[in-house]
Amino acid sequence: MNKKCDTFRFLAVVLPVLMAAVTACRADAASPARSGVILRSQRKPGETDRVVISLDAGGDTNYSAGGKPQHEKMGVQCNLDYLERTLESPAAADGMRRSVRDYQKVEAVVKIGDGRFQPALEERHHLIAVEAGKQSALLFSPQGNLTRDELDAIDVQANSLLLDRLLPETPVNVGDHWSHSPELMAALLGLDEVAKTTVESTLKQVTGGVARLEIAGQVEGAIYGVATKIEIKGRYRFLRQTRRIDWVGLLIKEERPGSFVDDGMDVVSRLQILVTPVEPPASLADAALAKLNLKPAAELTSLTYQSPNREWQCRHDRRWCIYRQGPKSSVAILRLMDRGMLVAQCNLASLADHAPGKLVPLAEFQGDVRRALGKSFGQFVEANEASPAAGYRMYRVVVDGTASDLTMRWIYYLVAEPQGRQAALTFTVEQKLAERFADADKPIVQSLRFAAVKEAEKKQAAGAPAAPKR
């Protein structure tokens, strides 16, 4: 009797489990397999790709002149061709990625109204290091500071180091879709931040060794302190044999109002990227890269400002943006944007040469400053002279005052070199932002250097007769 009871108890426990297992097996047999396709990049450190990019953009710029809205037609054509060696490719989707590029071709033409501009990359800057994090991508030259124009020529949307992050982290089937994070969209589109995004990718087709995908959606973000709206439509291709994305085609529509540093725009861009594995060239071999610093440092990531007459240059961090600069003007305006806020302005100007060794006295320079400010002048806070470089002389005059009912601080500099060439820099900042501004003026002024003067010009400046031309 006891044995029968034990048997019944055993069957009461086991039979439901067995029946559940059988039912599950039948259900699995009746439903299609959901194992999915793995679209995981196999990009590895040391691998080299050839990346060819073509960008064609057109639309309108918008700005205000005399209180009235103005519009001008604009167009951009850009063709880039570079070899990119991967330095770091983490397993985590949002991990730090690093590469170094050797640019073979940089061709860019910018047309705004009747104006035409062709930014280019200097030959000595053909090697570019790239570091892409969770929300941004940083390009810099390990062999000398880039100018803002050089950076703009190569820093296009959809950075090739970020393309792998478009792929899904789990297996997918045809028809499946997955969303992209605000941080990824900020990095891909070069935005300061993204508040909202509906961008997602969809696996459309798998044939043989190729997976075809589509990407679409909208992005609401901010850059330079103003909101921007972007709509994206595109396709990209994944090769299952190499396990890499080898082609991307994007249509990007952006509407952006004017900011403190740039005009507004309503523009449509067509972007195509081709990626092909290649053998690494000698320029990207270990021996060639061994002596280069390929990690970002302040002295490498800062940008160079070159005066229009190419008489002098200085360096500034990337928060300073060129607001106004004319090719025939001796004056340029930089504005300091910090986390979307306008903090300060810097006016840079080349001045007429003075007689060697006869720089105006400091007191006379103070008088010029006082007259220039007029009714805005309040009081001198500081006035001194220094030597930022061998043979150079520099005046620094700090003034507090008011303008348009705002309490302001002006910092005036006059920098001169032994042969008589001189430059003036004026920094303007609201006093309530002085702490945020800190000493943002000093790295710019301390880095200012005049171009080398030829020996004949030096002798002539010193009063010696120049050698006759043959």
Domains of the chain, residue spans: 48-289, 302-457
Task: Please report the pLDDT score of residue 330 as a whole number.
Answer: 76
Sign (positive or negative) of CA dihedral 221, 224, 228, 230: negative
Domain 48-289: which CATH number of 3.30.70, 1.10.287, 1.20.120, 2.30.230 = 2.30.230
**pLDDT of amino acid 308:** 86
Distances (CA, A) of 401 to 346, 364, 385: 17, 20, 22
What is the number of other CB atoms lying within 10 angstroms of the CB of residue 303? 20
Q: Which residue positions in the chain have pLDDT lower than 50? A: 1-33, 455-456, 458-459, 461-470
| DSSP classification of residue 92 | S
Residue ranges of E strands in 298-405 = 303-306, 312-316, 320-325, 331-338, 341-351, 377-386, 393-403
Could you give the CA distance from residue 197 to residue 165 in angstroms, rounded to a whole number?
16
> Is there a contact between 309 and 350 (Cβ–Cβ < 8 Å)?
yes
Residue 67: what pLDDT?
Answer: 81
pLDDT at 12: 39
- Residue 404, both tokens: 């348009």
Q: What percent of the chain has pLDDT over 90?
A: 80
End-to-end CA distance of the chain: 129
Check residue 453 and give its pLDDT: 73
The predicted model scores a pTM of 0.86
pLDDT at 454: 54
Q: Express the helix, strand and coil content of the chain in percent, nearest 5 each.
A: 20, 45, 30
Residue 466, Cβ neighbours under 10 Å: how many?
10
Pick the CATH number of 302-457 from 3.40.1170.60, 3.40.1000.10, 3.40.50.10790, 3.40.50.620: 3.40.1000.10
Which two three-digit tokens encode residue 322? 């060129």
- DSSP one-letter code for 319: T
pLDDT of residue 113: 92
Look at residue 7 in the predicted model and tell me its pLDDT. 37
